[in-house]
Structure 1
Amino acid sequence: MKVKEVADLVGISVRTLHHYDEIGLLVPEGTTEAGYRIYSGKNLELLQQILFFRELGFPLQTIKDIIYSPGFDRLAALRQHRLMLMEKRDRLDRLLVTVDKSIQHAKGESDMTNKEKFSGFDFSQNPYEKEARDRWGSEAVDAYAAKLKGMEQSGEMAGFQEEMNELYRTLAEMRHSDPASPEAQEGIARWYRLLNRVGSYTPEMFKGLGEMYVADERFTKNIDGFGEGLAAFMKDAMAEFANRQRK
């Protein structure tokens, strides 16, 4: 199957498949004489495995390390996926019960205790936190968390979030332009300054964050909500910004 056929079958973007190829996560079986990627049945099985891991929140590098390790057992991995997905389903079922009870409570049809209002929520694990710690270290992540907590306590968070959304909308308007243009670089410089209000991003870290915007479909989905292709545009603009800082 060609890359577009695989993308349509699976429901992911061609850009995602290209990225998987570039990082060695899913390399097509071959190419046609015209240079089109060709995916085999084994490629599709591997892609299914990758997407199971992604559904469970595993970062791409971890997936690559797992599936290409000498001791990788596909059947054992599938069984583990099933167990983990069942746990996820159970948590979602509990949240659905909470939503249904909340609807009834909002309509005045039933009472609801404070404990019931928060049944099913689990914030013991942050799906982004391990990736951030692996990439930038615990000290940077802890400092970032402390700044966010301080902003929440001082009431600054709502304004900060709206400022981020406004800048997303501004960047979305120019997403079809050259990421290296003066306008794009001015906008992405604002993004750099905004992020550094809650973190301590070096230009290299900033560039790495941009790469995550495309590599991680969770980021892509959220960012592209402001305009399709925004995540890829920001990635290129952030890389250009970081490269200029080295000169």
Structure 2
Amino acid sequence: MMTVSEVSRLTGVSIRTLQYYDKIGLLHPNGHTEAGYRLYDDTALAALQQILLFREMEFPLKDIRQIMTQLGFDREKALTQQMELLTLKKQRLENLIDLARRMQQTGGKPMDFTAFDTTKLEEYARQAKQAWGTTPEYQEFEGKSAKRTPQESNTINAQLMAIVAAFGTLQTRPAQDPAVQAQVKTLKDFITRHYYTCNKQILAQLGQMYAAGGEFTKNINAAGGPGAAEFAARAIEYYCRGEET
């Protein structure tokens, strides 16, 4: 775990910026020291790298937050798009350097202006953004998020985590227990009310993500106790087998 100061020195991102990312729900710390200082682990640093690459693609912070928190976010796909766009930027910079060199050789006489053309970059960035915003769930999520302040979004996200973490207190019961299944329905209804329509397919995918061993699993188990995420996944799987919609 690294303190916010250590992360700032390592990444070049200012402490104030990291604090702002936390405030708007873009990058939360994984914990705090006894003195209240933010702490970040390798998972958070990987997310920060992803954020900085999106910033290189000139995505607004609001779009980045929505992209990285949406259901089905594909990090590999994002990295592929980011590399392609950065390659285009590299080619444009090389063209500008070549143009400057030729202008120097010719005494600065007018030559051509193709090196200043950003059409290809802008078109690729537009297509990349569209790739993340075409699903009905994303559009619904975006519409609901636009009506909330960052503080309201943080509160709702914390409430969602509390609902999932509560599965940790139910682990002594079987997944099919009525109380456990009622908690799954509470989760499903909360997501539909505050994020997007949570149908059987989406709920099943969420359950798989909770137990996949990544950041979701770690955060849920940190809040609900060891095994909370995996138990939630089993409960959701049982619920979805009996759900028709």
State the TM-score bracket (shorter-chain normalisation): 0.3 to 0.5
RCO (CA 8 Å, sep 6+): is it higher in 1 or 2? 2
**Higher alpha-carbon Rg:** 2
